[in-house]
Chain A
């Protein structure tokens, strides 16, 4: 057993690299999925029915299928349509961004719709055009309201990045499972993986609780 733990220690560098990639994937995905979600939310509020339908179909498809399958789908099926062979990391990012954008779009849409009609009318009455009202009146108010939901999505995203390990992207889960197959040392390696995620995820979960308390919308 002690030999096992020293093995974890010997591979600390690889674990750290994997953990770093997990964090990077989370950050980059969220940075891309916020504009992505906003775009989808706008498209779903569009005045043309066809655009509304297409955006809704996209969102509902990605919300109603398992992320692990979406990652496989992007990995195996997308190249055959586009003739482009993407590296695993790019595939993982595409899958995650499509998925999280869909969830974000629902959050943003709810936030935008929750701003009272009177705010729109007042902005228009002051001579703004609808884009200005959206940017200067509605979005700033909606931003505070969507923060708690966005924070929850952040933590699910952090956890969901572990699924990219199935297409051999070297995140923490992949590194740990690889070391396990290389060395046949199971318990310490899997415990180290769990502890690694726990150490990163637990503070985030607590932070989300705090954000929920701080920015709760009163009934």
Chain B
């Protein structure tokens, strides 16, 4: 029986670290989805110029590692804009900016996957373009996007661990502090694997299950 005291005696410290992980994950999911929905919709309906400008943002984020985005946001960005920010703020910005690009791609694919006839039928019924998008295209597209958006949520949780590199006091970072104090590598890192698994796996399976239930609503 291994000695769990390094973790048990620091449970409050680690619990607050876990709450930081959940906090930055949820915030970056919220901002990332916001960015993604706006960018994805603008790229689909906003004309060619808007599409290529936003396309540059999306493709840039798709070609830069999350680590590079985070390090750059925390260390380089403040030098350009002239004010500094906390590592947690930088972490949330970097994670959201990266996630947003992937959400945008998903949203665009979802919106364009809804057949043209749906839009034409809505317009023929006298709806405005905005109404047609809002009432006909988007509800179907959202269902179709669900599996991809769900896996992006688990990516966001997993990627929040990379924020440890810029010293955001999240779960991985604080666990490294515990390792530094106790030298119990195996115990701490193995526990951490289990904890992340227990968070991410139910999210992935939950979205799968939900999707199977509502998938028929997205077919036209």
Residue of A nearest to B164 (CB): A68
Say yes or no for A204: interface residue by CB 8 A criterion.
Answer: yes
Task: Tell whether, in the assembled complex, residue B71 and residue A155 are in contact, meaning their CB atoms are under 8 Å apart.
Answer: no
Residue of B nearest to A166 (CB): B165
A70 to chain B, nearest CB (A): 8
Given that A68-B161, A173-B68, A190-B71 are known contacts, is A201 also in contact with B62, CB under 8 Å in the complex? Answer: yes
Say yes or no for B200: interface residue by CB 8 A criterion.
Answer: yes
Residues of chain B with a CB closer than 8 A to A72's CB: 172, 189
A209 to chain B, nearest CB (A): 8
A122 to chain B, nearest CB (A): 30
Most chain A beta-carbon contacts within 10 A, residue among B67, B158, B204: B67
Contact for A201 among B64, B71, B179, B190, CB less than 8 A: B64
Task: Tell whether, in the assembled complex, residue B192 and residue A69 are in contact, meaning their CB atoms are under 8 Å apart.
Answer: yes
Task: Tell whether, in the assembled complex, residue A69 and residue B79 are in contact, meaning their CB atoms are under 8 Å apart.
Answer: no
Interface of B is mostly: helix
Task: Tell whether, in the assembled complex, residue A159 and residue B66 are in contact, meaning their CB atoms are under 8 Å apart.
Answer: yes
Task: Tell whether, in the assembled complex, residue B62 and residue A66 are in contact, meaning their CB atoms are under 8 Å apart.
Answer: no
Task: Tell whether, in the assembled complex, residue A66 and residue B161 are in contact, meaning their CB atoms are under 8 Å apart.
Answer: yes
Say yes or no for A186: interface residue by CB 8 A criterion.
Answer: yes
- In this complex, the interface size class of chain A, counting residues with CB under 8 Å from chain B, is 35 or more
B-contacting 9-mer, from A6-14, A112-120, A141-149, A192-200: A192-200
Proximity bits, B54-76, A CB within 8 Å = 1, else 0 = 00000110111111100110011
Say yes or no for B211: interface residue by CB 8 A criterion.
Answer: no
Residues of chain A with a CB closer than 8 A to B172's CB: 66, 68-69, 72
- Across chains A and B, the number of contacting residue pairs, with CB separation under 8 Å, is 114
Task: Tell whether, in the assembled complex, residue B200 and residue A165 are in contact, meaning their CB atoms are under 8 Å apart.
Answer: no
Say yes or no for A177: interface residue by CB 8 A criterion.
Answer: yes
Alpha-carbon gap, A210 to B85, bound state (A): 39
Task: Tell whether, in the assembled complex, residue A187 and residue B79 are in contact, meaning their CB atoms are under 8 Å apart.
Answer: yes
Contact for B190 among A77, A160, A186, A202, CB less than 8 A: A77
Using a CB–CB cutoff of 8 Å, the interface residues on chain B facing chain A are 59-60, 62-68, 71-72, 75-76, 79-80, 154, 158-162, 164-165, 172, 179, 185-186, 189-190, 192-193, 196-197, 200-201, 204
Using a CB–CB cutoff of 8 Å, the interface residues on chain A facing chain B are 60-61, 63-70, 72-73, 76-77, 80, 155, 159-163, 165-166, 173, 177, 180, 186-187, 190-191, 193-194, 197-198, 200-202, 204-206
Residue pairs across A and B with Cβ atoms less than 8 A apart, 28 shown, are A60-B197, A64-B158, A65-B197, A66-B196, A68-B164, A68-B165, A72-B172, A73-B192, A73-B193, A76-B185, A155-B62, A159-B63, A159-B65, A159-B66, A165-B67, A173-B68, A187-B79, A191-B76, A193-B68, A193-B72, A197-B68, A198-B63, A201-B62, A201-B64, A202-B59, A205-B59, A205-B63, A206-B59
